[in-house]
Structure 1
Amino acid sequence: MTRGELWWADLGVPRGSGPGLRRTVVVVSSDDFNGSRLSTIIVAVVTSNTRLAPMPGNVLLPPEVSGLDRASVVNVSQLMTIDRRDLEESIGELPAWAIAEIDAGLAGALGLGVRG
């Protein structure tokens, strides 16, 4: 698995407002991290709730870009560290422009490159 790939993942039983069940995720951890012997991977949850698209940092993915059957949104505020075994099926790889937008969204959500 590589950074920017979309996968179906088993996220288990949802707790509170967190995601759960079988969901689409995008791998956001670095390829160095992904290629290590660690058994975990960092992902951002993807949702079909397009009302979340205008939220800060989120990225709208048209179906022709994601390979999914409808427009979807990468929710940069829902990051998860999951076991690699929870990744069930590869969907495809996002184009460079989408990964760049996700990077910008993650930087904003995590305060990377911002002082104060």
Structure 2
Amino acid sequence: MHELSLAMDLVEQLTEVAARENASAVTGIHVVIGAMSGVERIPFEFAFPEAARNTPMEGAVLNIEEVPVVIRCSDCCLETEIHNLLMVCPWCNSVSVEVIQGKEFIIKSMEIR
């Protein structure tokens, strides 16, 4: 399961941060998952507690913020959210677009004690 390895990587990174901060536990984690990141929310939510077992993250509240795909058109400069994965500007129908949001999978914050 792809999400389990991502959850294990997340736990490893946050364990290092918690150790640097002399934290005894991580009580909350806020991650941002883009719609095109390849990370599925529900499997990730199930994988996280398993990855966090016997670590400072065990029992931490996992808050997931999902962000939509936003594209920018190179021809008309429109920035817009898209809900399908058709990479076409809805204003001018150009296919010369770039994804400016929606590919991310990032740690936004963590709460420690």
TM-score (norm 1): 0.21
Using CA pairs under 8 Å that are at least 6 residues apart, name the structure with larger relative contact order, 1 or 2: 2
Structure of greater Rg = 2
